[in-house]
Chain A
C-alpha cells in the first residue's frame, strides 16, 4: 500500500506541539519577513509517529537483511557505536568551549588520527573532510599545491585507471585539472604500457583504487607507483576499498603518497541518512604540512608520566579548512568505538573475512553468472548480468527480481568496463548461511531468466510500488511536491 506524503495527512487546526509560555520579552518580526501563508502540514504526534514508522517499515536496511552493494561496503553497524556516540560527555560539549575543558574529545580525535596513520602507513592524518569525496578533493589539492610550491607549475594532469571509482575523475575536474584515463589489461590490472605512454612532466599524479572496482588487487602496484614517482608525480590512493586490506597491507608502505579513508565503509559508521560522513586523509611525510586543518596535536607533555595536553593546529602550508568547526565529531566516536572493539587483530580478521566471503559467494555462482576476470578477488567481485539463453534479460531485471526474493540487489552497471555489471560485496558481517541464501536466490533467478523471462522484466512484484519509470524521472523530473 502506498503511504501518502505527510501533507496529505494534514487536517486544518490539528496540532502536535503546544509551545510553553513565553518567558522572554516578545519581539515582532519585521513585516517584510512575515508570510501570509506557510504551507506546513498540520498533524498530531501520533500521525507523525505512525507515518514515519510505516515508511521505515517499507524501507530496506542492513538491519533487515543482506545488502551486498559492491564498493559501498554495507557492513553491519554495531549498536554499541550508537551507545558511545550518545554519551553525555560527547553530546553536551560545545564546539566553542575552551580546548582545556574538552581534552577527552581531543584525545579521541588524536587517537583516531594515530590509528588511521598505523592502518594506512602514513606520517600524518586529518579527520576534517566531511566525506570521502571531500577527502579526495583535499588530496588532489594538496598534491597540486605541493608541485606549485616547488615551482613545478606545468603539471595539470591526473591519470585515472578505468577501474577506478567514478568519483576520481570528478574530483580531478573539481580541482581544475585534466583527466587522462588509463585502460586495464586482461588480468584487470592497470595496463603498464598504456600508463607509460601517458607519463610526462604534465602529470600531477595518479589516482588509483586498490583493490580496484573489479574487486581485484593491483598486482603491479609497486611498479605503477615507481613509474609515477620517477616522473615527479604523486600517487593518490582511493581508500574506499580499504575494508579488504586493513591490518594486512598498508598503502603507505608501497609508496602511496595520499589516501582517504571512508569511515562509513571501513569503520562501520552509518551510511547516508544515518549521519554525516567523514573522509579522513592520510599522507606521507612530504605532504604533512599541507593537510587541511585543524588537526589535533600534543601541545605539551611535561614528562612521560604526565597526561599530554591536546590542541588544534593548522599545518604550516595547509590547503585550508574544509568543514566548519572540528569536522563530524560524532562519526569519529563511532569509528573509534569500532576500532577499540575489534583491536588490531580483529581488524585484520575483519578484512580476511570480507575477502573470504566475497570469494565464497563468487565460487557459488560463477558457473551460472559469468564473472569478470576469474581470479581470486578481494572484498567484492563483478558478475555479468546477462545469459546467452535469455538475450532480453539485463542486469537491471536481475536486480529488480532480487527485491522480490527479499534481499537487496548489488550495485549494477558499475564498473562501466564490465557489460551488465553486477558488483557484489557481501562484507565480513554476513554468515555462511546468509551468503548461501543469496547464492541460492541468484541461481534461482538465472533459471527464471530462461524459463520465464517475463517474471524478471516485470519485477519487482512484491513491493509497495512496482518497477519505477527511471527514464521519465530523469528526463522530466518533478522536484517539488505538488498538491494533487
Chain B
C-alpha cells in the first residue's frame, strides 16, 4: 500500500494535501484497491460548498458505488475534469493525477483534526486484521 507522506487522512480513506493556501483532495491507495476498477467519478461543480465529514463525491467501481467524505470544509475552486473520461487514473495514481478536487478551506484549522500518515496506516492495518 502506498502512502503520501505529505498528506493527511480520514478513517474513511480520503486524503487532503496542502498546496499553497488551497487543499487538494482525493482517495487513498487503499481505497482504490478496495473499490477495484473505478468506472465513474461524479464530481461537484466549481464554487460548490463542501462540508467536513459530509459526502460530496460519488465514486463508482464495478463492485460498488461509494461516497467520498469531505476531509475539510471549503469552496471548490477546481475539479479534475480528466477523471470524467479516464476514471482509471484514480486506480493508477491516486495521490497524483487521480486527485479529485481543490478547495479553498473555510476553516484551515480542520487540518489539525486529520490523521497523520502513520496514524492512517494503523487504521488500515486494523481494518485488514478485522477481516
Interface residues of B in 24-72 (CB under 8 A from A): 37, 39-40, 60, 62-64, 66
Residue of A nearest to B62 (CB): A470
A413 CB within 8 Å of chain B: yes
B98 CB within 8 Å of chain A: no
Chain B residues lying within 8 Å of A474, measured Cβ to Cβ, are 39-40, 60, 62
Chain B residues lying within 8 Å of A413, measured Cβ to Cβ, are 63-64
Chain A residues lying within 8 Å of B66, measured Cβ to Cβ, are 416
- Minimum CB–CB distance from A384 to chain B (whole Å) comes to 7
Chain B residues lying within 8 Å of A396, measured Cβ to Cβ, are 63
B105 CB within 8 Å of chain A: no
A471 CB within 8 Å of chain B: yes
Partner of A471, one of B39, B64, B131: B39
How many B residues are at the interface, by size bracket? 10 to 19
Q: What does the 1/0 interface line of A469-483 toward B look like (CB < 8 Å)? A: 011001100000000
A419 CB within 8 Å of chain B: yes
A471-B62, A474-B40, A475-B39 known; A419-B131 Cβ under 8 A? yes
Q: Cα distance A414–B63 when bound, in Å?
A: 9
Contact assessment for B87 and A475 in the assembled complex, using a CB-CB cutoff below 8 Å = yes
Q: Cα distance A386–B34 when bound, in Å?
A: 13
A471-B62, A474-B62, A475-B88 known; A384-B131 Cβ under 8 A? yes
Chain A residues lying within 8 Å of B62, measured Cβ to Cβ, are 470-471, 474
Q: Count of chain A residues with Cβ under 8 Å from any Cβ of B?
A: 11
Chain A residues lying within 8 Å of B63, measured Cβ to Cβ, are 396, 413
Chain A residues lying within 8 Å of B40, measured Cβ to Cβ, are 474-475
Interface residues of A in 445-484 (CB under 8 A from B): 470-471, 474-475
Q: Cα distance A425–B39 when bound, in Å?
A: 29
Interface residues of B in 79-100 (CB under 8 A from A): 87-88
B residues whose Cβ falls under 8 Å from a Cβ of A: 37, 39-40, 60, 62-64, 66, 87-88, 131
Q: Cα distance A396–B64 when bound, in Å?
A: 13
Partner of B64, one of A416, A470, A475: A416
Interface residues of A in 360-388 (CB under 8 A from B): 384, 386
**A384-B131, A413-B64, A474-B39 provided; 18 other pairs, C-beta below 8 A?**
A386-B131, A396-B63, A413-B63, A414-B64, A416-B64, A416-B66, A419-B131, A470-B62, A471-B37, A471-B39, A471-B62, A474-B40, A474-B60, A474-B62, A475-B39, A475-B40, A475-B87, A475-B88
Residue of A nearest to B131 (CB): A419
Q: Cα distance A470–B62 when bound, in Å?
A: 7
Q: Cα distance A206–B62 when bound, in Å?
A: 29
- Minimum CB–CB distance from B120 to chain A (whole Å) comes to 19
Q: Cα distance A396–B63 when bound, in Å?
A: 9
Q: Cα distance A225–B103 when bound, in Å?
A: 40
Chain B residues lying within 8 Å of A419, measured Cβ to Cβ, are 131
Q: Cα distance A413–B64 when bound, in Å?
A: 7
Interface residues of A in 313-344 (CB under 8 A from B): none
Interface residues of A in 387-401 (CB under 8 A from B): 396
- Minimum CB–CB distance from A191 to chain B (whole Å) comes to 15
Q: What does the 1/0 interface line of A398-430 toward B look like (CB < 8 Å)? A: 000000000000000110100100000000000
Chain A residues lying within 8 Å of B37, measured Cβ to Cβ, are 471
**21 sampled A-B residue pairs with Cβ under 8 A:** A384-B131, A386-B131, A396-B63, A413-B63, A413-B64, A414-B64, A416-B64, A416-B66, A419-B131, A470-B62, A471-B37, A471-B39, A471-B62, A474-B39, A474-B40, A474-B60, A474-B62, A475-B39, A475-B40, A475-B87, A475-B88
Residue of B nearest to A415 (CB): B64
Q: Cα distance A386–B131 when bound, in Å?
A: 10
Q: Cα distance A471–B66 when bound, in Å?
A: 16
Residue of B nearest to A419 (CB): B131
- Minimum CB–CB distance from B125 to chain A (whole Å) comes to 15
- Minimum CB–CB distance from A186 to chain B (whole Å) comes to 10
- Minimum CB–CB distance from A383 to chain B (whole Å) comes to 13
- Minimum CB–CB distance from B68 to chain A (whole Å) comes to 14
Q: Cα distance A139–B39 when bound, in Å?
A: 32
Q: Cα distance A1–B40 when bound, in Å?
A: 33
Chain B residues lying within 8 Å of A471, measured Cβ to Cβ, are 37, 39, 62
Chain B residues lying within 8 Å of A414, measured Cβ to Cβ, are 64
Residue of A nearest to B86 (CB): A475
Residue of B nearest to A179 (CB): B55
Chain A residues lying within 8 Å of B39, measured Cβ to Cβ, are 471, 474-475
Nearest 9 CB-CB pairings of A with B: A474-B39, A471-B37, A413-B63, A470-B62, A419-B131, A475-B39, A416-B64, A471-B62, A413-B64
Q: What does the 1/0 interface line of A212-245 toward B look like (CB < 8 Å)? A: 0000000000000000000000000000000000
Q: Cα distance A419–B33 when bound, in Å?
A: 13
Residue of B nearest to A394 (CB): B36
- Minimum CB–CB distance from A165 to chain B (whole Å) comes to 14
Residue of A nearest to B87 (CB): A475
- Minimum CB–CB distance from B95 to chain A (whole Å) comes to 21
- Minimum CB–CB distance from A391 to chain B (whole Å) comes to 12
Name the residue in A386, A396, A475 with the highest tally of chain B Cβ atoms < 10 Å from its Cβ: A475
Q: Cα distance A474–B37 when bound, in Å?
A: 10
Q: Cα distance A384–B131 when bound, in Å?
A: 9
